[in-house]
Amino acid sequence: MNISAVLLAGGESRRMGRDKATLLFRGRPLWEIQFDLLRTLQPEEIFVSARTDPLWRPSGMQFVCDEPPSRGPLSGLSATLARISTNHLLALAIDMPLMTGNYLRLICSLVEPGRGVLPMIGNRAEPLVAIYPKGTGTDFITALSGSDFSLQSLTKKLVEAGKLSLVNVLEEQGKLFRNFNDLSDFD
pLDDT tens figures, 142-168:
999 998 999 999 999 999 999 999 999
pLDDT per residue as tens digits for the range 111-129? 999 999 999 999 999 999 9
β-pair partners for 71: 73
Q: Is pLDDT above 80 for 92?
A: yes
Q: Where are the domains of the chain?
A: 4-186
Is the model more confident about 72 or about 143? 143
Looking at residue 105, its pLDDT comes to 97
Find the angle CA(133)-CA(75)-CA(21) to the nearest 5 degrees.
Answer: 100
CATH 3.30.428.10 fits 4-186, yes or no: no
- What does the alpha-carbon distance between residue 144 and residue 48 come to, in Å, rounded to a whole number? 20
Which residues are CB-contacts of 14 (< 8 A; sequence separation ≥ 6)? none
- What does the alpha-carbon distance between residue 85 and residue 74 come to, in Å, rounded to a whole number? 19
pLDDT-derived band at 69 (thresholds 50, 70, 90) equals: confident
Looking at residue 71, its pLDDT comes to 85
Q: What is the pTM of this model?
A: 0.93
Taking all residues of the chain, what is their mean pLDDT, rounded to a whole number?
91
The total of other beta-carbon atoms located within 10 Å of residue 2's CB is 11
- What does the alpha-carbon distance between residue 151 and residue 145 come to, in Å, rounded to a whole number? 14
- What does the alpha-carbon distance between residue 15 and residue 183 come to, in Å, rounded to a whole number? 8
Is the model more confident about 21 or about 11? 21
Looking at residue 184, its pLDDT comes to 66
Average pLDDT over residues 83-94: 97
Looking at residue 12, its pLDDT comes to 52
Find the angle CA(10)-CA(16)-CA(68) to the nearest 5 degrees.
Answer: 25
